């Protein structure tokens, strides 16, 4: 029984990481003959770059697949694991998206996956976070800034709705910080642009 309690979380985390390593943006653009999204525009293998390269329909398909996979992963984690371990499985999903073993360990930033995974834990928080994104984008007009505000909202909302235990808080915090860290080049570029504007 003790071995099962130890091995089951490890197996679920590994399976979710592998599932997250299937990057739909890369696969669909390859299928369409549009090239690798990691070599164009922002270099991010996500729905936004798919929109730039293949249009809104295929971006919607990628977003639907990313969110749907994450939602399924969250539901499986909730069913199989102790509640305190569930946020850590979410981290494995985001890690798979960011460092996919099937795509040279260079993938997306994990925002869509985080929305879908949170939807399994708290659907209301996930839906409300989309309004947070819209409002943030209306104010700042920068997609990744709106995404970061949404991620912070998802993290805080998950802790409030899902549990205040240290293990849960740590899992949620590490996942949110990991997604923010994935945007570090965007943050640096925005800071440099603002600095240049202030000089001018």
Nearest in space to 148 (alpha carbons), one of 162, 132, 125? 132
Whole-Å CA distances, 193 to 84, 109, 156, 180, 197: 41, 21, 30, 19, 6
pLDDT in tens, the chain (200 residues): 556 567 999 999 999 999 999 999 999 999 999 999 999 887 889 998 999 999 999 999 999 999 999 999 999 999 999 989 999 999 999 999 999 999 999 999 999 999 999 999 999 999 999 999 999 999 999 989 999 999 999 999 999 888 789 999 999 999 999 999 999 999 999 999 988 888 76
Q: What is the pTM of this model?
A: 0.92
């Amino acid at each position: 029984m003790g071995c099962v309690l130890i091995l089951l979380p490890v197996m679920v985390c590994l399976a979710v990481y592998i599932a997250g390593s299937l990057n739909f943006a890369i696969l669909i653009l390859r299928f369409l003959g549009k090239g690798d999204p990691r070599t164009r525009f922002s270099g991010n293998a996500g729905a936004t770059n798919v929109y730039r390269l293949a249009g809104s329909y295929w971006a919607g398909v990628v977003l639907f697949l990313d969110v749907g996979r994450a939602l399924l992963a969250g539901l499986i984690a909730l069913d199989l694991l102790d509640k305190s371990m569930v946020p850590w499985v979410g981290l494995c999903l985001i890690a798979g998206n960011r460092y996919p073993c099937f795509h040279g360990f260079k993938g997306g930033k994990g925002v869509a996956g985080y929305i879908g995974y949170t939807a399994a834990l708290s659907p209301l928080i996930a839906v409300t976070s989309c309004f947070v994104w819209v409002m943030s984008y209306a104010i700042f007009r920068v997609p990744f800034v709106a995404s970061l505000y949404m991620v912070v909202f998802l993290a805080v909302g998950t802790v409030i709705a899902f549990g205040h235990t240290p293990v849960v808080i740590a899992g949620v915090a590490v996942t949110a910080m990991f997604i923010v860290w994935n945007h570090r080049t965007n943050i640096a570029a925005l800071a440099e642009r603002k600095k240049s504007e202030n000089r001018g």
